[in-house]
Amino acid sequence: MDLRSKTIKLRTVIEEDADFILSLRLDPRYNLFLSKVDNNIQAQKKWISAYKELEKSGQEYYFIIERLDGTACGTVRLYDFREDSFCWGSWILNDNKTASSALESALLVYKFGFDYLKYTKCHFDVMKTNEKVISFHKKLGAEITNEDAKNYYFEIFPHSIAKIKKRYG
């Protein structure tokens, strides 16, 4: 499947991406809403190697977001596959992103989850303090289905993104 849009593309992660991933995950500008990781390149490579096995078995997918010129500008994962739904997260975009990278990468995630993997909905959670991302998802048509003290829980369906997909996808 070609996961390419107007200014970016997604490709599955490889061990050689460990330095880039670690640089994103350790950067305080990007990691405020992510789980913590150790500053250990060998551990990151080992984690990627194990992740590739999950990918082979169709359990999870981890992508590098790149500009069309090949410059890496972020990451995103698909995981927590259920009967009819998938989750996505670990979404990071750095300063090398294009102006529309957030929208394009979200639409590529939905293309992969809905069109390629054939799920009928997507679920995900966002920390309540991550106001920009909450606003972004609501604008795409995601709806809050639950909440706890820390997170909002969202769902989105293919029809929710149909208009924006037609315009940008």
With H, G, I as helix, E, B as strand and everything else as coil, classify residue 71.
coil
Query: What are the pLDDT digits (tens) for 103-150?
Result: 999 999 999 999 999 999 999 999 999 999 999 999 999 999 999 999
Residue 68 φ/ψ, nearest 5 degrees: -65, -20
Q: Give 30 or 64, the one with higher predicted confidence.
A: 64
Contact 161, 110 (CB under 8 A): yes
- Classify domain 8-168 by CATH number: 3.40.630.30
Q: Is 21 exposed, middle or buried (0-12, 13-18, 19+ CB in 10 A)?
A: buried
List the domain boundaries for the chain: 8-168
The beta-carbon contacts of 30-34 under 8 Å, at least 24 apart in sequence, are: 30/92, 30/93, 30/94, 31/92, 32/130, 33/126, 33/127, 33/129, 33/130, 33/133, 34/90, 34/92
DSSP 8-class letter at 95: T
- CA 114 to chain CA mean position, Å: 14
* pLDDT for the residue numbered 131: 93
pLDDT of res. 29: 63
Q: Which two tokens stand for residue 20?
A: 């880039």
Q: Which pTM was predicted?
A: 0.91
Does the pLDDT of residue 30 top 80, yes or no?
no
Q: Tens digit of pLDDT for each residue in 43-74?
A: 889 989 999 999 999 999 999 999 999 999 99
C-alpha–C-alpha distance, residues 45 and 35, integer Å = 17
Q: Give whole-number Cα distances, 97 to 48, 100, 143, 163, 168, in Å.
A: 23, 8, 26, 24, 16
